[in-house]
Amino acid sequence: MGNAPLSPSKPIDAHVHVVGNGSGDSGCWVRVRGWHRPLAALMLRHIGLPLSAMSGDLETLYISRLLELLRGSSLGAAVILAQDLVYDEQGSPMQNAGSFYVPNDYVLGLAEKHPEFLPAISIHPARPDALEELDRCLARGAVMLKCLPNCQNINCNDRRYTRFWERMAEAKLPLLAHTGGEHTLPVVQPEYADPRVLALPLECGVTVIAAHCGTKSGLFDPEYFHVFAGMTRRFDNLYGDTSAFNVPLRGRHVRKCLESPLVERMVHGSDFPVLVHGHWAWMRGFVGWGAFRKWEKNPNIIERDYQLKVAMGFPAECFTRIRGILRLKTD
């Protein structure tokens, strides 16, 4: 495992996406359709890349930009996320589903090259080779597993996946699972946005982080924040991340997230390259005018997202807690 020792006090961003178009032989692909197209262009511009990057050397440009932003920020490391294909319940890839793919070997390789990156793999548990792939990635230093039940068609409560969750629990590999609506990627099973879909891995002893704390993304999405909060009382091994809390709707429940005991379950994540704007937090009175003005002007969105969350009142532990959750090599 190539992870250099991380500075123990520096914050970690636990939710950072990497994307690629195969230009650097990564095996990544991206397929943006319809109204997702202008959104993708907006995100590229937001991180300071031209639209032409989509058909050019996206991989080199994206990674060098991400490293530049990370190194210019207060953060010490970022967990970078692989993205598996969409599979049906029988374990066959669903053709034409999914809008991007990031192979495990790509994030594992990036983390070997750059100590700032911690690799989160992605494996659909219905895959016939799911357990072998899990063991292979554990041997290469995976620190977490990421999945999007609603977009990747994963009913985590399916009893056939029990062995997979048990193996993750044995290996102390945490699960970061998307919860709440989703509008950046195509959704296959909207009902799997409900955090209750995570009950089986939790019962198997997997430490689970509900990305976005079950909050809604679109105006007409069901709101699962209270379901998530209720589940933290039942499961000691359930956490929630603050990723995308600086988009219009997701950050609505910040005050509740800052209350004990929920605040002890909060983990910092940006959801890079998702847009970061302080207007919503300022309008809701979560940050003052001065902090909003100061950080909104900062072009480094990794730093902007971090500083806005500090200004919202998230305590320092929320930014380092992930260190005790990830499967990090200690020697």
Q: Provide the binding-site residues for Zn ion, judged by CB under 5 A.
A: 271
Q: How far is the CB of 131 from Zn ion (least distance, A)?
A: 25
Q: How far is the CB of 120 from Zn ion (least distance, A)?
A: 11
Q: Which of residues 86 and 291 has its CB atom nearest to Zn ion in the complex?
A: 86
Q: How far is the CB of 116 from Zn ion (least distance, A)?
A: 19
Q: How far is the CB of 138 from Zn ion (least distance, A)?
A: 23
Chain position carrying tokens 């997230």: 257
Residue in the shown chain whose Cβ atom is closest to Zn ion: 271
Q: How far apart are CA 243 and CA 16, in angstroms?
A: 9
- Using only the alpha carbons of the chain, give its radius of gyration: 18
Q: How far apart are CA 86 and CA 151, in angstroms?
A: 7
Residue 101's DSSP bridge partners are 29
- Nearest one of 311, 327, 314, 199 to 268, comparing CA atoms: 314
Q: How far is the CB of 146 from Zn ion (least distance, A)?
A: 8
Q: How far apart are CA 59 and CA 29, in angstroms?
A: 10
Q: How far apart are CA 256 and CA 263, in angstroms?
A: 8
Q: Which of residues 21 and 184 has its CB atom nearest to Zn ion in the complex?
A: 184
Q: Which of residues 61 and 247 has its CB atom nearest to Zn ion in the complex?
A: 247
Q: Which of residues 77 and 291 has its CB atom nearest to Zn ion in the complex?
A: 77
Cβ contact 205:169 at 8 Å: yes
Q: How far is the CB of 277 from Zn ion (least distance, A)?
A: 17
Cis peptide before 273 (omega within 30 of 0): yes
Q: Which helix (H) or strand (E) holds 101?
A: strand 100-101
Residue 267's DSSP bridge partners are 241
Cβ contact 149:189 at 8 Å: yes
